[in-house]
Amino acid sequence: MKIILMSIREGRPAKNREMAALVDLYLGRAAKYSATEAQVTSSEAEFWAWIERQSARTPAVTILLDSRGKQLSSEQLAERFGQLQRDSAQMVVLAIGPADGWSDASHRRASQLLSLGPMTLPHELARVVLAEQIYRALTILAGHPYHSGH
């Protein structure tokens, strides 16, 4: 299963090299357990066009980050990844949307809406948090001591 952390930047370059380095660090660590990568698109329409171009035996699982989404613990995210692996999902895309939020059409197309919590986070920080949670979830599934229940 390949896990892709996608963000929509609407033409703006990454603002903070340190945050980008942290995303790379956590996705690099996660790659020991599952193929991972970070992608950036410039618009919601470009995101869905990219999804449609992906060819695999199974359709991409699209998990959109949204304040109205379900909040999961790290263990629950690991459980979700484990279920997707058991279901033979080939690609899981966790996507941080445009600055004004996802459209209703995107909400309807998504496999799932996920919230990192009720606080608003800058996109770059949300990418770091999500990358770390991807790594944490994969280590939970692997029984690695990184998580250690805290």
Mean pLDDT value across the chain? 93
Do residues 74 and 41 lie in contact, with contact meaning Cβ atoms separated by under 8 Å?
Answer: no
**Six-digit token string for 69:** 């989404």
**Side chain identity at residue 129, one-letter code:** V
Closest to 9 (Cα-Cα) out of 118, 126, 130: 126
Task: Please report, for the chain, the start and end positions of each structural domain, with discontinuous segments joined by +.
Answer: 2-142
- The single residue listed with the structure tokens 């770059």 is 124
What CATH topology corresponds to 2-142? Alpha/beta knot (3.40.1280)
With a threshold of 0.85, does the pTM exceed it? yes
Nearest 5°: the CA angle 117, 77, 73 is 45
CA distance 136 to 145: 10
**What band does 147 get if pLDDT is binned at 50, 70 and 90?**
confident
Contact call for residues 42 and 11 (beta carbons, < 8 A): yes
pLDDT of residue 148: 78
Digit-coded pLDDT (tens) for 90-127:
999 999 999 899 999 999 999 999 999 999 899 999 99
